[in-house]
Structure 1
């Protein structure tokens, strides 16, 4: 049953970069929660905690694409390690400012300056692309595995951060991801045998990925998908509190991630059928369909299974979506393209959380799940409307890649 995954890790060096990269990815899922809990506990202000965490997230929306572009231009290890060291130093400065009761502005300054943690998940996907170039089946399994790792980090990260902050010390929930970011990134970058070489820019593809119409469609779909995630979190917190089970919100949300992880593992074992654009649209459609029943929840016993079911289409959508982004972008811009997609998700999460908070205040918790359902439907509408551009850009990129593939084949034959 797990044969596809065993074959995936038969590649030399794959276990090394996957295991070391997991540490840095886990840190990324801990940092936001760790910051909020730490600031709230020490300064006794959730408003300040949210603002400091939000400032870091807003800065990440700018730094992540820039780091992706630098990685494409100079290589993973040359960019990721200095970025991780700087992020760790500024994170340590944030902790120190809190401990020393420094002025509030220093919290914002250090939080903003710490937002340089590299997107190790994107770099790991780039390594799989280099290893299994042209092997669609293996890349499907690799993308599935990567998405499952993302879900596992989403489940474990916040739980670990809160446990450390409440069980050890408020600062522990932020110090741990600081260390994991630094150690994980350095160990990941040390796996030089699997690091993709810097791809020379093709003069015919020097345009910015932002001008790619297909990527524009994907970024808009991911914006609404992120809005779904952000509003779903806020809606679940509000709904469980209205039922008198507010402490169970984290557990209920983890069920959505577990459902997504399970479906991701199973999806990776399936044989690909149809076109990549068609599979992505089917995934978004499934996500929209499975979100709708959440509006029927009337209590915890109905919410729990519906939340698990709602997560079942998330991984297939993200797996096909990230795979499609890879098809849309030239190899010389792959890190920048993937980080732009991630940035859209992060922006959507922030937007969805903000709008959902306003919606709950105005209309109450009973209608809280209308917003994530609406975001899923909007993602589906954008995906359907953008099919023409997606198919056109995939075909154009495929045509540009064919001469390169033919040249590689000729080199192998000559050797």
Structure 2
């Protein structure tokens, strides 16, 4: 059983500490929003600062990836967590100061955000290879997708509970999580890049721009769908006069995605990455279509369940493709570039869907998700058609003994 094998390869302690280490990412945006709104009594300013923080995460993430590839995950991951802890301390110190200082501190929190999700996926890639367990990578990435989804269920719920005590409590708890889990995780479960065993192979240091751009845009689309669905469930909750229902509905969305992500570990390996990407993009479009139609004809709580099952499989295909297309020595920066698309897309999705929701209500918010899902499918189909006669950047899930991710097969053969 794949997940049992993951325990053997990574160790039991990896999983609880790894889950807690990623919670600060899931709590940051809402914690900042609550803190700044309480300090300024302005939702507009708090929302603007939170949006700036999301953009800063997208900018800072690839920088962390570049440094991690150059200097190793352990020192860079630890330094980022320490810097983020300090940024939160600055934000708390300025929460009764000027709006300019609060805005700058919120942006600094985003710039220093520890990249636990992207870096741990690179760690899994190296870990399964070092144990000669290539077949476990699919299960590892499936677990990571499920853990991410559950963190975005647990994180906002935790913030909501703490905010009822004090608007400072979520930010302080985020700092405790960074100190008690993110920093220890970076110290215990990361390592310096292992030299590639095939010394005769000359690895390419340049990232494959076109395929990485496709993956980035695909993740932007996924983020925009998240943003539009967040807006939609908020509109629905206001419509039924139960504001608290929005959190429950988005939790349903996350739980369904987490379950689907966990199930991806059992996908047959003969189902190639190229086929998965296109198939799951089609599934995403169908799922969002069901949500759009079902929300009008049935109800949002019922329609959101089948839609949620299409999220994680699509995201896992993006993570796996990016892991395969990147040269080994540039894996961290490739993964952080991919993940930078998420917050950018979410911010854009929230902005566009919010404007349409003002004029057209729930339907206006959901049409954004549907249009973006259609765009994600067209992007996948165009990539498939452009590369169907080549296998330069979409590589099958399990490398053969003469196959090195990110290296042309003929170079490997010559080295052997």
User: Counterparts of 2:137 and 2:263 in 1: how far apart (Å)?
Assistant: 15
User: Counterparts of 1:199 and 1:60 in 2: how far apart (Å)?
Assistant: 30
2:285 alignment counterpart: 288
TM-score normalised according to structure 2 size? 0.89
- Asked whether the 8 Å contact 1:27–1:181 carries over to 2, the reply is yes
Q: Which ranges in structure 2 are unaligned for 5 or more consecutive residues?
A: 396-402
Deviation sequence 1:54-97 (CA, Å, 0-9, x none): 12111111110000110011001111112211111121111121
Q: Which has the higher helix share?
A: 1
For the structure 1 residues 198 and 132, does the alpha-carbon distance in structure 2 shift closer, same or farther, using more than 3 Å as the test?
A: closer
- Asked whether the 8 Å contact 1:227–1:350 carries over to 2, the reply is yes
Deviation sequence 1:301-344 (CA, Å, 0-9, x none): 72112111111011111112101110110111111111111001
Deviation sequence 1:167-221 (CA, Å, 0-9, x none): x2111111111221233222112225x52525589865222x3x52111111111
For the structure 1 residues 299 and 173, does the alpha-carbon distance in structure 2 shift closer, same or farther, using more than 3 Å as the test?
A: farther
2:193 alignment counterpart: 197
3-state SS of 1:319 partner: helix
1:316 aligns with 2:323: no
2:247 alignment counterpart: 250
3-state SS of 1:369 partner: helix
Aligned ranges 1:140-159 → 2 under 5 Å: 140-159=138-157
User: Counterparts of 1:125 and 1:366 in 2: how far apart (Å)?
Assistant: 36
Moved more, 330-339 or 291-300: 291-300
For the structure 1 residues 199 and 180, does the alpha-carbon distance in structure 2 shift closer, same or farther, using more than 3 Å as the test?
A: farther
For the structure 1 residues 223 and 72, does the alpha-carbon distance in structure 2 shift closer, same or farther, using more than 3 Å as the test?
A: same
3-state SS of 1:355 partner: helix
- Asked whether the 8 Å contact 2:292–2:366 carries over to 1, the reply is yes
For the structure 1 residues 199 and 118, does the alpha-carbon distance in structure 2 shift closer, same or farther, using more than 3 Å as the test?
A: farther
Q: Kindly state the Cα deviation for residue 300 of structure 1 after the two structures are TM-superposed.
A: 11
- Asked whether the 8 Å contact 2:260–2:310 carries over to 1, the reply is yes
1:129 aligns with 2:136: no
- Asked whether the 8 Å contact 1:71–1:79 carries over to 2, the reply is yes
User: Counterparts of 2:283 and 2:295 in 1: how far apart (Å)?
Assistant: 23
Q: Which ranges in structure 1 are unaligned for 5 or more consecutive residues?
A: 411-415
User: Counterparts of 2:113 and 2:202 in 1: how far apart (Å)?
Assistant: 30
- Asked whether the 8 Å contact 1:83–1:117 carries over to 2, the reply is yes
Q: Kindly state the Cα deviation for residue 233 of structure 1 after the two structures are TM-superposed.
A: 0.6
Q: Kindly state the Cα deviation for residue 14 of structure 1 after the two structures are TM-superposed.
A: 3.5
Q: What's the RMSD between the two structures over aligned residues?
A: 2.5
User: Counterparts of 1:271 and 1:394 in 2: how far apart (Å)?
Assistant: 17
Q: Kindly state the Cα deviation for residue 383 of structure 1 after the two structures are TM-superposed.
A: 0.9
- Selected match of 1:110 from 90, 102, 105: 105
1:160 alignment counterpart: 158
Aligned ranges 1:322-333 → 2 under 5 Å: 322-333=319-330
User: Counterparts of 1:402 and 1:33 in 2: how far apart (Å)?
Assistant: 46
Aligned residue-pair number: 400
Q: Kindly state the Cα deviation for residue 45 of structure 1 after the two structures are TM-superposed.
A: 1.1
User: Counterparts of 2:408 and 2:15 in 1: how far apart (Å)?
Assistant: 27
2:205 alignment counterpart: 206
User: Counterparts of 1:54 and 1:284 in 2: how far apart (Å)?
Assistant: 27
User: Counterparts of 2:73 and 2:406 in 1: how far apart (Å)?
Assistant: 27
- Asked whether the 8 Å contact 2:24–2:174 carries over to 1, the reply is yes
- Asked whether the 8 Å contact 2:328–2:405 carries over to 1, the reply is no
TM-score normalised according to structure 1 size? 0.90
1:413 alignment counterpart: none
Moved more, 64-73 or 52-61: 52-61
- Asked whether the 8 Å contact 2:257–2:308 carries over to 1, the reply is yes
User: Counterparts of 2:192 and 2:414 in 1: how far apart (Å)?
Assistant: 18
- Selected match of 2:407 from 389, 392, 400: 400
User: Counterparts of 1:30 and 1:309 in 2: how far apart (Å)?
Assistant: 26
